[in-house]
A and B are shown apart, each in its own frame.
Chain A
C-alpha cells in the first residue's frame, strides 16, 4: 500500500510501504490480536482497504470483528466501529481449511468429474479435514489469492502458532516437490495400469503389508486424480514463493519477553532471515514498564517492606492491616522488578536481528473489541522499544 507523500516512521512506515505483512511467532503472545490491531489502526488513519486474515481467532475477537460463523468469506467491519475520523476500510476473514481446499480442487481439476472424484475420496477428506499440515499450504494459497484479487491495499496475515510455523513457508515448495517425485509415480503406477501387480514393486509390497490393499487403492486413486492438477499446483506454488520473497511482503515476529517465547521468537527471526525473507519488525507484547527496572525504586520498595509497621499510620486505616498490605505491595514490586530485569535481558538479544523493535504494555485484560484493537494498534504504529502508553491502573 502506498498512501503517497512522505512515509511515516516506524511500524506505520513499514505498513505503508508493503502490500502484505505476515505476523509469526510463538503461541500465547497475542499474535492474532496484534495482526488485527495493526490492520484496524492503519484502516483508521489512511484512506485504504485493509484486510486482516486470521487463522484461528479467539471467540471474543472473532465476535468483535464480526467473524463468527462466516467461514471463508471476507467481511467488512462496521465502519462506525473505526470511529468518526476513520479514513479507510477494515475487512476481516478467517481461514477455513476444508472450504479452501475444496475450492482449490475445483479450480485446478481438469473437469467436474475429476473434482468430484477427489472431493469424495476418503483420504482427501481426512487430509483436509483433520490434519494439521494442510493448513500451512492453504494459508499461503489463500493469501496469494487475496493479494492477486487486488481488492486490498494491505493484507495483514496471522500464522498458526507452532514451532513449525515456518513450515507454512515451505509448504508450497514441498507440495510441488512431491508432485514431481518418483514416489508419486510408483504410488499411482498400479492405478494407472489398473492392474494391482503388487509383487512387481518392493515398495508397494511393503506398503501393502503395512497398510492393506484398500487403503493403497484409495491413495493411488487420490494421487492419480490429483496429478491431473499438477501443472496448476506447481505453477501456483512457485508464484506463492515468489510473492513471499518479493518487496511487497514483509514479516513481523510477535512475542512476549518471557523466557521461553522470547527464545522461540529469536529462532523465528533467525530462520526468516536465513530464508531470505524480509524481517521488517519485531513486536513485543505485554512488556512491563521501564519504571520497574529503576534501581532507586527497588531500594525504596525494600525500605517500604522493612519499615512497613512504622509507616503504616500514614493511611487512616487499621495500622496492622495497612502494614501487612504495604509489605505485600513492596514484595509484589520486588517480584515484578525481577521479571522486568529478565525481560530487559531477553530484549537485548533481539537488537542484532532487526532495527525496528516496538513494545506494547500490559493492557489489563485481553483485547476483545475494536476499540481495544485501535488502542493497541495506535501504540504499536507509533511505538518505540519501550512501551509508550502506561498500563491501565485501578482507580
Chain B
C-alpha cells in the first residue's frame, strides 16, 4: 500500500450520499498543507467543489480556489477540443459544427469515448507534472469501474493509431500502484458498507488500479459499552424517568426517546463499521472521519475534515 500522501493520482469514489466530494476536498486540503500543488478535478460537474471552497463557478480551466489547490470540473467536450489541439494540431476555437456533431457521436453512441476523455485528461495532467498530485472527485461506485476500465477496453478495441499508444501510457500510469490509487468513501451504514466490499473486489478483478484506502465518513461516537448500556436502560426506565422529572421539574420523556434513537444509531453504525473491518483486506488502511452535526459545509467543514484526516493519517 502506498501512503496517500505519496500518490500522484488519487481517485476518490464511493456510494452516492457518502460525502465523496467533501472528502476529496479535505484530502486536497490535507495534501496542500504538506506543501504540494494539488489539482482537484470534479468529474460529475455538479458544482460541489466550488461550493466546498466557497468559490465562484469553477470550469474546465483549473482555478486556484485555496492556497495551492486548483480546482476544475470535467467537461468531455472541452477535453476533446484540448486533445485535438495538442495532438492533431487541429485548431478548435468556438463550437465548430462538424466537431459538435462528432462529439454527439462520441458522447451518445460510443459512450466509452466519454470515459476515456475523462480518464485521459487526468492522466495527461499527471504526465505534465504541472501539479504534484491530481485528486479526482470521481463518479459514484456504479460508474467508476467503467471509467477506470475504459483505457483497457479501448486498448482492446483499437489495435493501431494514436489512441492505441495513448491508452498505453495511460494504463502505465493507472497500473502503477506507487503513483496511482483509489480511495473509497463510505459511511458506517449497511448499503454503503456492502457496496464498498463489492467495489473492492471489482477494482481488483476488473481494473488495474489499486485500492489504497477506505475512508469511513460520518462516524458517530462509539457505541456504549455493555455497562454503559445497562446504565442507560436504568436511567430511561419508567421509575427513573419519573424521578428525573421531579428532580428537574421538567418533562424528560422526549429527550430520553431522542437520546435512545441516538444510542441506537451509534450502536448500529458501530456494528457496520466492525463488519467493514472484518471483510476488507486487513492491510488496507481504514480512515475514520467524524459526523459534523452542525451540517457545516464550505471552508469550515472542509477544514475540520482535513484536520481529522491529518490526525488519522499521521497517527
Q: Which residues of A does B touch, CB under 8 Å?
A: 26-29, 56, 58-60, 122-123, 126-127, 130-134, 160-164, 174-175, 177-178, 181-184, 187, 202-203, 206-215, 218-219, 223, 256, 258-261, 264, 288-289, 291-292, 294, 296-297, 299-301, 303-304, 307, 310-311, 314-318, 321-322, 324-326, 328-330, 332-333, 335-339, 342, 362, 364-366, 390-394
Contacts and interface: CB of A to CB of B under 8 A. Distances in A.
Contact of B101 (A182, A303, A315): A182
Interface of B: 15-19, 21-22, 44, 46, 48, 84, 87-88, 90, 98, 101-102, 104-105, 108-112, 114-115, 139-140, 142-143, 146, 149, 153, 157-164, 189-192, 194, 221, 224, 227-228, 230-232, 234-235, 237, 240, 243-244, 247-248, 250-252, 254-268, 291, 293-295, 297
A28 B160 contact: no
Contact of B112 (A126, A161, A178, A181): A126
Contact of B88 (A29, A56, A209, A218): A209
Residue of B111, B140, B254, B257 most packed against chain A (CB within 10 A): B254
Given A27-B17, A300-B250, A315-B235, A259 B140 contact: no
6 contacts: A317-B234, A322-B234, A329-B259, A336-B262, A366-B191, A394-B263
Contacts of B240: 314-315
A227 B139 CA distance: 32
A357 to B, nearest CB: 20
Contact of A297 (B161, B248, B258, B297): B258
A314 B244 contact: yes
A260 B19 contact: yes
A393 to B, nearest CB: 5
B171 to A, nearest CB: 16
A30 to B, nearest CB: 8
A130 B48 CA distance: 27
Contacts, number: 250
B96 to A, nearest CB: 11
B264 A300 contact: no
Given A56-B142, A160-B142, A338-B294, A300 B254 contact: yes
Contacts of B263: 329, 332, 394
A131 B115 contact: yes
A315 B243 CA distance: 9
Given A162-B44, A187-B105, 17 more contacts: A27-B17, A28-B191, A133-B111, A133-B114, A161-B140, A163-B44, A174-B108, A177-B104, A178-B109, A210-B162, A288-B261, A297-B255, A304-B244, A315-B235, A322-B235, A329-B262, A362-B261
A303 B250 contact: yes
A108 B216 CA distance: 47
A296 B164 CA distance: 68
A365 B268 contact: yes
B295 A291 contact: no
B208 to A, nearest CB: 15
A178 B104 contact: yes
B228 A27 contact: no
B261 A391 contact: yes
Contacts of A307: 248
A127 B146 CA distance: 11
Nearest to A133: B111
Given A311-B247, A362-B265, A325 B231 contact: yes
Contacts of B111: 127, 131-134
B244 A212 contact: no
A118 to B, nearest CB: 13
Interchain residue pairs A-B with the least CB separation, the first 8: A27-B16, A28-B17, A212-B161, A332-B262, A315-B234, A329-B259, A314-B243, A212-B160
B131 to A, nearest CB: 25
B159 A212 contact: yes
Nearest to B143: A132
Given A126-B157, A164-B44, A394-B263, A366 B190 contact: yes
A304 B158 contact: no
A59 B198 CA distance: 11
Given A26-B16, A260-B48, A393-B260, A294 B224 contact: no
Given A183-B104, A183-B105, A187-B105, A317 B163 contact: no
Given A28-B191, A59-B194, A333-B259, A259 B235 contact: no
Contacts of A337: 258
Contacts of A393: 257, 260-261, 264
- Of B88, B110, B250, chain A has the most CB atoms within 10 Å of the CB of B110
Contacts of A288: 261
Given A28-B192, A300-B252, A338-B293, A212 B224 contact: no
A318 B84 CA distance: 74
Given A209-B162, A210-B88, A296-B250, A304 B101 contact: no
A394 B264 contact: yes
A333 B262 contact: yes
B248 A162 contact: no
A303 B248 contact: yes
Contacts of A390: 257
Nearest to A297: B254
A124 to B, nearest CB: 10
Contact of A291 (B46, B110, B227, B258): B258
Q: Which interface residue of B87, B221, B256 has the most chain A CB atoms within 10 A?
A: B256
A130 B149 contact: yes
Given A187-B105, A325-B228, A332 B266 contact: yes
A304 B194 CA distance: 38
Max count, chain B CB within 10 A of own CB: residue among A56, A131, A261, A311: A131
Nearest to A175: B108
Given A126-B112, A339-B293, A366-B191, A212 B90 contact: no
A300 B248 CA distance: 8
A27 B15 contact: yes
B295 A339 contact: yes
Contacts of A206: 84, 88, 90
Contacts of B251: 296, 300
Contacts of B254: 291, 294, 297, 300
Contact of A394 (B87, B139, B267): B267
Contacts of A311: 244, 247-248
B247 to A, nearest CB: 6
Interface centre among A296, A337, A394 (most CB of B within 10 A): A394
